Structure 1
Amino acid sequence: MDPILSVVALSVVLGAVIVFVFFKSYFLKQRSEVQTIAKPELHSDPKKPSKPPQPISRKSHAKRHFHASDKDQNKRHHPLDLNTLKGHADSVTGLCFSSDGRNLATACADGVVRVFKLEDASSKSFKFLRINVPAGGHPMAVAFSDDASSIVVASETLTGCSLYMYGEEKQKTTNDSKQQTKLPLPEIKWEHHKIHEKRTILTLTGATASYGTADGSTIIASCSEGTDIILWHGKTGKALGHVDTNQLKNTMATISPNGRFLAAAAFTADVKVWEIVYSKDGSVKEVLNVMQLKGHKSAVTWLCFSPNSEQIITASKDGSIRIWNINVRYHLDEDPKTLKVFPIPLCDSSGSTLLYDRLCLSPDGKILVTTHGSTLQWLCMDTGKVLDTAEKAHDGDVTWMSWSPKPIPLGNEQVVVLATASVDKKVKLWAAPSRNSS
């Protein structure tokens, strides 16, 4: 048995040696092949062009320059773009300036109303007051009431729309200036629910009643997606009047700056205008349908009043802008007159006219700013010519815009500022273009 075991053991050892030698030679061969393959990539043939690394380098540089320019464009992609108000977590659905222009209230779909303090339009950051609407509500629009400390908010829930008026307690004067800068918490002063049944509020606008015997109170108009419009007393929340456009569905409504007229754009080409009649004691007596603006061939998409409340500017699906004189003796059946008609100058790449979504006239009545989707366009009111255009002013559609009623600081200057809100969660501040622009 011992000789047999010895033979077996020797065979195993010899087999192991043979296997070891075989695998060693195999791995050495593979290593040699790998080195042979790798060498041409590390040391390329000088006869062959070594251009691939250069384009890669250029591309990387190009990307760096591209992103850098993108960042610059995001910060200020247009000469009139002054600043961006940050902090919104969802679409910004509305905004409104206070009468002095120093406060800007924004409504956001994140359930928060923010009131920014615009101490300087060029600031890197802005202080703001945060107002959380009741749970389940989504702020749709805002309007200041009698002063900068009173704000009316339209909020939408699954059961309908509500109005809330938030008021702040007056700040107590103290010797400590730091305590004076702390904003008081707002409180709900009045509220109304399901004001347009379950219909959405499209627009919420306010104006100081300064015409005739009006007492100077703020009048608020809420316009639903149906055919109804309701007037409210800003301070008390009292309903002052209801009107019906009888035009299938509303597009928007607004009040003249002096609180005398209410005008609505709806499904048809005609614009209805009502007069808010005041009693001797300054209260609202009635709301009368006094005139219609007839001339457009298709539905009016938006309208606005002139600062003196004597003209209305309309944009229509017929591709035109009209300026109307409403300072007429309508009680003697004198009809409003068309003063000017301009073609909408905004076109797409094929030359087709693009319709304006919104209009807003500057406080001096000389510059009309318009929107189409995310595009802003400034027009001269005298000639209808384009003063400037900002394509992709936002990264999404513009939802609302408003001019500051009075100039606000911009460094060492005082400028009138345009604020725009968008679905891109941003609010932007814009300077007015020169009227010498072409």
Structure 2
Amino acid sequence: MEEENSVPAIAVTAAVGAIVLLIMLFFTMGRKSQTEEKEESEDETKTSKKEKQQPTTKKTKSVARTKGKDRVVFSHEWLAGSLKGHSSRILDMDFSPNGKYVITVAEDRSVMLWSTKEFEQKEHKFIRGNVDLDHATRVKFSPDSKAFIVSLGNANTIRVFRIGKKDDGSPGNIAGALDFPQKHKAEIINIGIASSGRFIMSISSDTAMIVWSIKGDVLSEINTNHMNNYYGAVSPCGRFVASSGFTPDVKVWEVCFTKTGDFQEVRRAFELKGHSAGIHSFSFNSDSTRMASASKDGTWKYWDTNIRYDMNQDPYLLFTGKLQWPGLCIISLSPDGRTLAMAQNSGLHICNSSGQDEEIIENVHSEISSQIGFDNSGKYVLSAGDKHVYVLHNITGYKATIEELVSLETKANGQAMKERIRSQITDAQVALKRIQGEGTTNGHAGGK
């Protein structure tokens, strides 16, 4: 009996021992697993810290390069500087008659006055004014450079602003002074002031052009008969107003006053004829003896307008060139008539008065160019678009000046005259060499 009872006892003891061993094994494995998980967690944490401390991984470089591509900065060997300050698209600009300032207007309701002396500096200060309850679409300086006018985008009329002075004589605050009555039924597309100060011009997108007194009285209303107006301007000499539009011509009128300064009439002077389609824009040189026009037919033309229009003499066509790109073209003629600049889309095309291409620059702006123009000295050409105005050296003008002086030297009578011309040639050559030596390569736009 004792031997039979001992067998189950041994079995029970063995079973209990096995269970205890299994439990110990499970505990051991669990601890090992926790230890391994802890070690893996610590390794991952260390790895994560190392990755944070090393920002030069391939992934980070790729992101940085992408951001860099998004922030492409315009550069060109002719670039002298850029005017930055507006927070939205610039719509227009104009140069003061005294040559000291350029003014810009934008969709952000601001007007900004910049000094031309700072064109080549890295930093550009400006005086800011605001267009209350509206925004300016076009801007033009008064002849004395103490005021300017704008066309209002919402009110669709003209507002006069005055520029205050500080104690040192520099420009101060900018404040609105007068609003003209609303007369245009369609959108105003441009404005102008005669250099004589006798009248102001506004033109709208229908067929209306209005000649105003400087106090806002209507002197004359003109039907341009273009079907639709595309552009209008006052000549720099202050004698003419001109318009272009759907019809293939530029119409020029003389605004006549009596000897005592009283308004007399607006009479037809001459026309530019020769394009086969509507004319986007046109431009005068400083004394109105030359004009340039750009058309939907894909051509631009250069004209001699030093004519006896009172004797029915027509302008002479000097050259016809092809536009570089399709679409709307803004054309500008330098004050001396030696350089032409054309803005199309976001690009800029510059050539001389003989039609030779000097520079073709694509993607000057990130948006369609809004305005181009030469400063009064003719040393710079400015291109406005998006939120920037880029100031470029007028290299074409320098070259043309040197060529003309060389020609004058061969014709000069007297040693003193020749030496004076040689001195001017040397000065122009030194200035051109300085500009081209300081310029940088075109890393943005593929200029010639």
TM-score band (shorter)? 0.7 to 0.9
Larger gyration radius, structure 1 or structure 2: 2
Change (3 A) 1:183 1:102: closer
Match of 1:196 among 184, 189, 193: 184
Identify which of 286, 290, 293 aligns with 2:272: 293
Count of residue pairs the alignment pairs up: 373
The runs of 5 or more residues in structure 2 that have no matched partner are: 1-17, 47-55, 400-446
Q: In structure 2, what is the Cα distance between the partners aligned to 1:148 and 1:60?
A: 52
Aligned partner of 2:137 in structure 1 is: 140
The Cα of 1:33 is off from its aligned counterpart by 9.9
**CA distance in structure 2 between the partners assigned to 1:20 and 1:285 by the alignment:** 118
Q: Is the contact between residue 90 and residue 388 of structure 2 (CA under 8 Å) also seen in structure 1?
A: yes
User: Equivalents in 1 of 2:171, 2:272: separation in Å?
Assistant: 45
Match of 2:372 in 1: 401
Gaps of 5+ in 1: 1-13, 43-55, 172-178, 209-215, 348-353, 408-415
Q: 2:389 aligns with which of 412, 427, 430?
A: 427
| Shift of residue 343, structure 1, vs aligned partner | 2.5
The offset of 1:219, in angstroms, is 3.5
Counterpart CA distance in 2 for 1:429 and 1:68 is 23
Deviation per residue, 1:273-304 (Å, 9 max, x gap): 21112211133311112333221111111111
Equivalent in the alignment of 2:163 = 168
Instruction: State how far apart, in whole Å, the 1-side matches of 2:81 and 2:165 are.
Output: 30
Q: Of Structure 1 and Structure 2, which has the larger fraction of its residues in helix? A: 2
The alignment partner of 2:194 has SS state of strand
Q: How far does the alpha carbon of each residue in 1:25-78 deviate from its partner, in whole angstroms, 9 at most, with x for none?
A: 267469769999x99xx9xxxxxxxxxxxxx9678668768877987x61x511
1:132 partner amino acid: N
Report the TM-score when normalising by structure 1.
0.75
AA aligned opposite 1:389: I
Asked if 1:95 is matched to 2:57, the reply is no
Q: Give the equivalent residue in structure 1 for 2:12.
A: none
CA distance in 1, matches of 2:26, 2:262: 109
Determine the structure 1 residue equivalent to 2:410: none
- Seen in structure 2, the aligned counterparts of structure 1 residues 434 and 402 have a Cα distance that, compared at 3 Å, is closer
* TM-score w.r.t. length of structure 2: 0.73
SS at match of 2:156: strand
CA distance in 2, matches of 1:306, 1:168: 27
- Check if 1:25 corresponds to 2:19: no
CA 1:381–1:66: 2 relative to 1, 3 Å: farther
Say whether the 8 Å CA contact 1:145–1:218 is kept in structure 2: no
Distance 1:27 1:167, change over 3 A: same
Secondary structure of 2:29's counterpart equals helix
Whether 1:388 aligns to 2:350 is no
User: Any conservation in 2 of the 1:378–1:433 contact (CA below 8 Å)?
Assistant: no
1:185 partner SS: strand
| Letter paired with 1:161 | N
* Residues 1:366 and 2:329 aligned together: no
What's 1:206 paired with? 193
2:235 corresponds, among 256, 260, 280, to 256
Match of residue 155 from structure 1: 152
Q: Give SS of 2:341's match.
A: strand
Give the secondary-structure state (helix, strand or coil) at the position aligned to 1:396: coil
Verify the 8 A CA contact 1:100 1:406 in the aligned structure 2: no
Within a 5 Å distance, the mapping from 1:278-427 to structure 2 comes to 278-344=257-323, 346-347=324-325, 354-355=326-327, 357-382=329-354, 384-406=355-377, 416-422=379-385, 424-427=386-389
